[in-house]
Structure 1
Amino acid sequence: MAATLVCDSFVFDPRPDYQFRLAIKRYRDLNNNHTDDDALTLVFAHCVGGHKEQWEPTLEHLYDFVSREPNLKIREAWCIDAPDHGDSSIFNDHLLTSALDWRPESSLGWEDYARSIHAFLSGLGSGIDVDFRSRKLVAVGHSLGAVAFVLSTPYLPKVKFLSMILIEPMIIRKPKPGEFKMEYSEIIAKRRDIWPSREEAMRFFTSEKQWQGWDPRSFQIYADHGLRDLPTETYPNLTQGVTLKCTKRQEAALYRDRLCSLRAFQYLHVLCQRIPVHLIHGEHADFIPRYFQEDILKVATRGHQATSSKVPGGGHMVVHTHPEETDKRARL
Structure 2
Amino acid sequence: MPLTFEEYGFDPRPQFPFLVTLKRYPNLVTEQTGFTLILAHGTGFHKEVWEPIIERIFAESAKPNGLKIRDAWAIDAPNHGDAAVLNAALLKSGAYDITFSWENYSRAINLILAGLGTFTDGKNRLVRLDFANRRLVGIGHSMGAVSLALAHTFYPTVKFDSLVFIEPMLLTARHFKALKHDIKLHEIALARRDFWESKEEALTSFSTKGMKSWDKRVMKLFVEFGLRETTKDDPFNQPGVTLKCAKLQESSTFRDRTSQVLAFDFVESLCSGTPVHVIWGAIDDYIPARVKGDIHDNGFRGQLASIQRIAGCGHLAPLVQPDAVADAILKAFNSTVTTLTAKSRL
Pick the TM interval, shorter chain: over 0.9
On the 8 A contact 1:272/1:300 being kept in 2, the answer is: no
- Supply the distance in 2 between the matched residues of 1:280 and 1:25 (Cα, whole angstroms): 24
- Supply the distance in 2 between the matched residues of 1:238 and 1:155 (Cα, whole angstroms): 43
SS at 1:221's partner residue?
helix
User: What is residue 189 of structure 1 aligned with on the other side?
Assistant: 190
Q: Which runs of 5+ in 2 are unaligned?
A: 120-126, 332-346
1:299 CA drift (Å)? 3.6
SS at 1:179's partner residue?
coil
- Supply the distance in 2 between the matched residues of 1:5 and 1:103 (Cα, whole angstroms): 35
1:71 CA drift (Å)? 5.0
Q: Which runs of 5+ in 1 are unaligned?
A: none
| Deviation larger for 152-161 or 174-183 | 174-183
For residues 38-77 of structure 1, the aligned pairs below 5 Å read 39-77=34-72
Instruction: State whether structure 2 residue 117 is matched by structure 1 residue 117.
Output: no
1:176 CA drift (Å)? 6.1
1:94-124: per-residue Cα shift (whole Å, max 9, x none)?
111113xx56322x31110000000000001
Change (3 A) 1:178 1:15: closer
1:218-267: per-residue Cα shift (whole Å, max 9, x none)?
1111111011100175x166340111111100011111111111111111
1:300 CA drift (Å)? 5.4
Length-normalised TM-score, structure 2: 0.89
1:72 CA drift (Å)? 1.5
User: What is residue 207 of structure 2 aligned with on the other side?
Assistant: 206
Instruction: State whether structure 2 residue 12 is matched by structure 1 residue 20.
Output: no
SS at 1:166's partner residue?
strand
1:125 CA drift (Å)? 0.5
Change (3 A) 1:165 1:272: same
| Deviation larger for 62-71 or 243-252 | 62-71
Question: Amino acid of the residue matched to residue 113 of structure 1?
Answer: Y
Q: 1:35 aligns with which of 27, 32, 44?
A: 32
SS at 1:165's partner residue?
strand
User: What is residue 86 of structure 1 aligned with on the other side?
Assistant: 81
SS at 1:275's partner residue?
coil
For residues 227-238 of structure 1, the aligned pairs below 5 Å read 227-231=227-231, 233=233, 235=234, 238=237
| Deviation larger for 269-278 or 125-134 | 125-134
- Supply the distance in 1 between the matched residues of 2:177 and 2:135 (Cα, whole angstroms): 43
- Supply the distance in 1 between the matched residues of 2:213 and 2:8 (Cα, whole angstroms): 32
Question: Amino acid of the residue matched to residue 174 of structure 2?
Answer: P
1:179 CA drift (Å)? 2.9
Question: Amino acid of the residue matched to residue 87 of structure 1?
Answer: D
Change (3 A) 1:199 1:276: same
SS at 1:274's partner residue?
coil
User: What is residue 255 of structure 2 aligned with on the other side?
Assistant: 256
User: What is residue 10 of structure 1 aligned with on the other side?
Assistant: 8
Change (3 A) 1:240 1:307: same
User: What is residue 168 of structure 1 aligned with on the other side?
Assistant: 167
User: What is residue 118 of structure 2 aligned with on the other side?
Assistant: 126
Give me the CA root mean square deviation.
Answer: 1.8
On the 8 A contact 2:96/2:249 being kept in 1, the answer is: no
- Supply the distance in 1 between the matched residues of 2:176 and 2:259 (Cα, whole angstroms): 20
On the 8 A contact 2:53/2:323 being kept in 1, the answer is: yes
On the 8 A contact 2:275/2:305 being kept in 1, the answer is: yes
On the 8 A contact 2:47/2:81 being kept in 1, the answer is: yes
Alignment coverage as a number of residue pairs:
322
1:4 CA drift (Å)? 3.9
On the 8 A contact 2:96/2:252 being kept in 1, the answer is: no
SS at 1:25's partner residue?
strand
Name segments (4+ residues, structure 1) moved above 4 Å. none
- Supply the distance in 1 between the matched residues of 2:98 and 2:294 (Cα, whole angstroms): 29
On the 8 A contact 1:45/1:142 being kept in 2, the answer is: yes
SS at 1:79's partner residue?
strand
